[in-house]
Amino acid sequence: MSRFRGVVAAGHPLTAGAGAEVLREGGNAVDAAIAAVLASFVCESPLTGLGAGGFMLVHSPSSNELIDFFCAAPGLDGAELGAELVGVPVHFDETTNQVFYVGAASCAVPGNPAGIEMAARRHGSAPLDELAAGAARLAREGVVVNAVQAYLFEILESILTRTPEGAALYAPGGRPLREGETFVYPDLGDALERFGAEGAEPFYRGEIASEIDAWIRGRGGVLGLLDLERYRPVEREPARVSFRGAEVLTNPPPSSGGILVAFALGLLERLGEGSDLGRVVAASEAANASRGEEFDAGLRSDGFAERFLAAERLDEVAEQIAAGGWIGGPGAPGEGPAGRLGSTTHISVLDAEGMCASVTCSNGACSGEIVPGTGVHLNNMLGEEDLNPGGFHRIPPGLRVPSMMSPTAVLRDGRVALALGSAGSNRIRSAILQTALRVIEDGMPADEAVRAPRIHSEDGTVQAEPGVDPEGLDRLEARGVPVVRWPHQNLYFGGCQAVVLDPSSGQVSGGGDPRRGGAVALA
């Protein structure tokens, strides 16, 4: 019987398979995560890529580290915008429409090449060129479009095809590629091969950086050479909270999502055994209510996570909930689904030595700006309303754009019991929270926990998938909480990828979210 080497959960079967292949060849969890991330640039385009940003949480038996390589605001050389954000309507279905803001003015400094290189240097064991080779081959040979990717190509058509470069890539026959057809991106194959050979240098200080500068500045954007030259990934200490005898590690400030997940878990810890529907809604709404101008400003101050998650503060809010507060939240009732699509993808990896890598990357909704000959499709983080609460183009140059992305790991006695993360913009928090509850409290294996029905509570309204406790939903409605019952599972509720190690049995399991085409590969 072959030796177990690890498990990978990701947003596409080929993404997960790329990571598992590295594990079979003797690579560690970070090696596998890097190979999977690079494969996702092809298989899960346009969710991520060389023009995107992200975070990687790494746990090893000797250390815990969060590598922040998310996008930064450009304009360090004082450049002024020469173009406006372009509003593009996206039609999710016949009744749900949303405007996304794209174009050169929406492009922030990408972080993926620099962050992946740092992870490989600090924690990897395999040569970068070997890790990139499989993804480069996929880009050149092509990937068969699956149902989830076909749906994304369809609903994002107005962004993906707004330029000739995008139309040639995503709609080569004059319409978006459909399920069963082949997506080919030769320029990305060349770029991945170059990344494997030279690392991040060409993308920040070399030829490709110059091409990005000329392309975006020529279209009125702010992103330029100085922004790229000065970009650096940052090593951070994970935010921490205790829950049911375990230690939860997640994304710290200046990102917001991780500490909001930790805040909700800290409240549920104090509300007694068992997190029923009412308690989950109350904790979620209390976390929502904690956001505001003071919260946004605090994210960039030293020690904010410790103050925000202080035991005294959690005790106080938990007492308010226990006294009947927060059920339904303080927000005005909504009428239906709200929030962004969340063009994000997550990968979770656990290896046989106990190392895990939990990595989330995002290209926003894409900018539509594909720099010819470089394989770089730039993000639209400066045009994402959720990430710019104070208004567009108000983040000072060089500072990170805020993010809800929350790669997370749960430790028991210093060993990984669960690693997870999600796509889904504001629903990232609720997807991670509920999946973690199913594993930690209910003892579910990863696949069952990921597939379990979810809710999302925001602005005083609870969105619920089929299968959520009907009596619990009735009780919420009896207390005046609007409830929207969805007829089926939907990618609105996130895309959570999780790996689990059962401490009692030693069994390992993985869960790929069916809402976004997730898959699991064992090595």
Number of residues assigned to the chain: 523
The question of whether 374 is a catalytic residue gets the answer: no
CA 323/CA 232 separation, integer angstroms: 47
- What b/e sequence results for 301-322 when a residue is b if at least 16 CB atoms lie within 10 Å of its CB, and e otherwise? eeebbeebbeeeebeebbeebe
CA 236/CA 222 separation, integer angstroms: 27
Q: How far is CA 497 from CA 374, 375, 440, 441, in A?
A: 30, 26, 16, 18
What is the three-class DSSP state of 68? strand
Q: Say if strands 519-522 and 508-511 run parallel, antiparallel, or are unpaired.
A: unpaired
What is the three-class DSSP state of 42? helix
Say if residues 361 and 112 touch (Cβ distance below 8 Å). yes
CA 489/CA 300 separation, integer angstroms: 36
Of the residues 15, 344, 360, 408, only one is catalytic, namely 344
CA 485/CA 482 separation, integer angstroms: 10
CA 423/CA 341 separation, integer angstroms: 9
Task: Name residues whose C-beta falls within 8 Å of residue 235's C-beta, 6 or more positions apart in sequence.
Answer: 65, 66, 67, 68, 118, 122
Task: Name residues whose C-beta falls within 8 Å of residue 298's C-beta, 6 or more positions apart in sequence.
Answer: 253, 304, 307, 308
Burial (CB < 10 A; 0-12, 13-18, 19+), residue 225, is middle
Catalytic residues: 344
